[in-house]
């Protein structure tokens, strides 16, 4: 049995089970479209069978190459943006010690990131750190020409040359890119970098179970075999049946779409574990980029509680009633901390003495859920027993499959992102990129430059 469980009971006061069940025919058709590759964007549905198609030998190759990097680097910089880094960071952060950067001894390299922004101060600070560390880089891009990672790669490649010498590049650069085409593929071939392939039929935000996610996760010291095993189990479970009674991804997709049709147009991903912050960011990109098109889509937002109960809690409780929440509930934490008793009780919390911090956190979760329901906010709860590679593999595939079903319910292509290109055209024109001369004149006139 799978470990991921979904509870929609706290949404049924806002949308009826009958309404949710009425979406079963559309869910079944969407399920069939994914399995048979007949739906919109079917040329990017390779992720559906990917876990089962991942061989032990392939995982061994990744582990062996990761070991080579781990032997020479105390820091590894992952260069990528969007799906090229969010999946890896979601898993690595979820599995890491909260203060791993401060631990004096660590068996695996510290993973840092570049190419996910264009901040000059960020890159400068990163180089300041890399000046004092033994490091390597993993650059992830299908094309090699996406501006943010391309700029970061050029800068860090130059830094490696200056710090270690040109010949060091072969040992300190790993490339994850297209099988046959693109600037990065050509560069990797020309300069002899170790290369892993991004499958042609898997888009960035669905790529966590490709080398895009697996290689950085392995370098970070985590068990990619357990991650894939969890994903394989979830794949078997979800792809074999479309009925909402037995398929939790189908139930989640149908419920959120039923709420959307009732004008609940914003979904807030809620976690009570700080380690899941980037799982939320990964989820946000997955659903936002998959559904937000043709003037449709549920707007994805995130909060990290209980921290955000003291900032966004007020709005969620009493703001516009167009929001619903999906709460990730972790049943068992890894560690135990007990609140001590103090005779003076000056802070007034002796009623908590002897209780685990987890118990307090969980009661805060339950109390918040009830308060938000009473305030007019439907809640969906996705429960996992603990945070580890196996459950994360299940959870990530669960959301991927649910997202694809949900996109098809909206009658959009869940696997493209045409709107992402619009800002790039304007940016290239403003930067006087060759071939954008006409657009450059027009946009500079608009901005009075």
Q: Could you please report the per-residue DSSP string of 144-155?
A: S--HHHHHHHHH
Structure tokens at 187: 């560069």
Average pLDDT, the chain: 95
Domain boundary among 227, 251, 283: 227
Q: Is residue 349 part of a domain?
A: yes
- Judged by average pLDDT, the poorest of 248-257, 343-352, 362-371, 438-447 is 438-447
pLDDT per residue as tens digits for the range 258-310: 999 999 999 999 999 999 999 999 999 999 999 999 999 999 999 999 999 99
Q: Is residue 446 part of a domain?
A: no
* Peptide bond just before 306 cis, omega within 30 deg: yes
Q: Is residue 448 part of a domain?
A: no
Query: How distant, in Å, are the alpha carbons of 75, 121, 402 from that of 132?
Result: 10, 18, 44
Residues 14 and 155 in one domain: no
Q: Is residue 375 part of a domain?
A: yes
Q: What is the CATH number of the domain that holds 115?
A: 3.40.50.10490
What totals of helices (H) and strands (E) does the chain contain, helices first? 18, 10
Residues 53 and 22 in one domain: no
Q: Is residue 21 part of a domain?
A: yes
Residues 123 and 222 in one domain: yes
Residue 59 pLDDT class (50, 70, 90 cuts): very high
Residues 60 and 209 in one domain: yes
Q: 317: domain range?
A: 5-39+229-406
- Enumerate the active-site residues: 289, 310, 424
Structure tokens at 122: 């960020």
The DSSP bridge pattern shows strands 323-330 and 5-7 to be unpaired
Residue 106, pLDDT score: 67
Residues 234 and 371 in one domain: yes
Residue 5, pLDDT score: 97
Residues 333 and 307 in one domain: yes
Residues 260 and 381 in one domain: yes
> Is the pLDDT assigned to residue 105 strictly greater than 70?
no
DSSP secondary structure of 219-255: HTT--HHHHHHHHHHHHHHHHT---TTT-HHHHHHHH
Residues 220 and 305 in one domain: no
The pLDDT of 318-338, averaged and rounded, is: 97
As a whole number of angstroms, the distance between CA 30 and CA 21 comes to 15
Q: Is residue 361 part of a domain?
A: yes
pLDDT more than 70, % of the chain: 99
Quick one: CA dihedral 268, 274, 277, 278, positive or negative? Answer: negative
Q: Is residue 271 part of a domain?
A: yes
> Is the pLDDT assigned to residue 449 strictly greater than 90?
no
Residues 128 and 250 in one domain: no
| E-strand stretches of 273-363 | 299-304, 323-330
Name the percent of the chain in helix, strand, coil, to the closest 5: 55, 10, 35
**Under the phi-then-psi rule, with left for phi > 0, alpha for psi from -120 to 50, and beta for the rest, what region is 181?**
beta
pLDDT per residue as tens digits for the range 133-182: 999 999 999 988 899 999 999 999 999 999 999 999 999 999 999 999 99
Residues 195 and 269 in one domain: no
DSSP secondary structure of 156-198: HHHHHHHHH-GGGHHHHEEEEE-SS-SHHHHHHHHHT-EEEEP
Q: What is the DSSP letter of 1?
A: -
Let me know how long the chain is.
Answer: 449
Q: Is residue 445 part of a domain?
A: no
Quick one: CA dihedral 428, 433, 437, 441, positive or negative? Answer: positive
Number of domains in the chain: 2
- Judged by average pLDDT, the poorest of 104-113, 120-129, 343-352 is 104-113
Residue 372, pLDDT score: 98
> Is the pLDDT assigned to residue 104 strictly greater than 80?
no
Residue 422, pLDDT score: 80
Structure tokens at 225: 């075999």
pLDDT per residue as tens digits for the range 205-237: 999 999 999 999 999 999 999 999 999 999 999
> Is the pLDDT assigned to residue 348 strictly greater than 90?
yes
As a whole number of angstroms, the distance between CA 180 and CA 340 comes to 61
Residue 444, pLDDT score: 82
Residue 424, pLDDT score: 83
Domain boundary among 206, 227, 248: 227
Query: How distant, in Å, are the alpha carbons of 60, 133, 135, 227, 268 from that of 71?
Result: 17, 13, 10, 23, 41
Residues 64 and 99 in one domain: yes
pLDDT more than 90, % of the chain: 90
As a whole number of angstroms, the distance between CA 310 and CA 313 comes to 6
Residue 397 pLDDT class (50, 70, 90 cuts): very high
Residue 177, strand partner residues: 197
Residues 190 and 238 in one domain: no
Q: State pTM to two decimals.
A: 0.96
Domain boundary among 180, 208, 227: 227
């Amino acid at each position: 049995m799978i470990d991921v469980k979904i509870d929609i009971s706290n949404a049924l006061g806002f949308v009826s089970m009958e309404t949710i069940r009425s979406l079963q025919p559309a869910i079944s058709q969407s399920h069939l479209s994914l399995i048979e590759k007949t739906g919109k964007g079917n040329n990017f549905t390779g992720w559906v069978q990917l876990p089962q198609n991942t061989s032990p030998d392939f995982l061994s190759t990744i582990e062996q190459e990761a070991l080579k990097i781990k032997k020479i680097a105390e820091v590894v910089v992952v260069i990528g943006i969007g799906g090229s880094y969010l999946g890896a960071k979601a898993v690595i952060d979820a599995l890491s010690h909260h203060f791993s950067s401060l631990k004096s001894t660590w068996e695996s390299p510290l993973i840092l990131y570049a190419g996910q922004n264009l901040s000059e101060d960020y890159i400068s600070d990163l180089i300041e750190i890399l000046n004092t560390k033994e490091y390597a880089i993993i650059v992830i891009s299908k094309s090699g020409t996406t501006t943010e990672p391309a700029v970061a790669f050029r800068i860090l490649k130059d830094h490696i040359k200056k710090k270690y010498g040109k010949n060091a590049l072969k040992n300190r650069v790993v490339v994850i890119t297209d099988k046959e085409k693109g600037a990065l593929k050509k560069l990797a071939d020309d300069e002899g970098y170790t290369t892993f392939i991004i499958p042609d039929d898997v888009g960035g935000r669905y790529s966590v179970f490709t080398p895009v996610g697996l290689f950085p996760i392995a370098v970070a010291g985590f068990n990619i075999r357990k991650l894939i095993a969890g994903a394989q189990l979830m794949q078997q479970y979800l792809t074999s049946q479309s009925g909402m009674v037995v398929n939790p991804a189908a139930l989640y997709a149908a419920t959120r779409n039923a709420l959307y049709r009732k004008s609940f147009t914003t979904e807030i991903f809620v976690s009570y574990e700080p380690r899941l912050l980037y799982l939320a960011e990964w989820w946000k990109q997955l659903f936002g980029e998959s559904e937000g098109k043709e003037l449709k889509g549920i707007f994805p937002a995130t909060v990290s509680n209980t921290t955000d109960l003291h900032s966004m809690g007020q709005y969620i409780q009493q703001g516009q009633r167009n929001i619903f929440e999906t709460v990730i509930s972790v049943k068992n934490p890894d560690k135990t901390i007990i609140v001590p008793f103090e005779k003076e009780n000056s802070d007034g919390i002796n009623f908590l003495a002897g209780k685990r911090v987890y118990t307090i956190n969980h009661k805060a979760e339950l109390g918040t859920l009830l308060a938000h329901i009473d305030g007019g906010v439907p809640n969906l709860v996705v429960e996992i027993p603990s945070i580890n590679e196996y459950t994360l593999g299940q959870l990530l595939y669960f959301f991927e499959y649910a997202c694809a079903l949900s996109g098809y319910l909206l009658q959009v292509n869940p696997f493209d992102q045409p709107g992402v290109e619009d800002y790039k055209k304007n940016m290239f024109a403003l930067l006087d990129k060759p071939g954008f001369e006409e657009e450059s004149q027009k946009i500079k006139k608009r901005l009075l430059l």
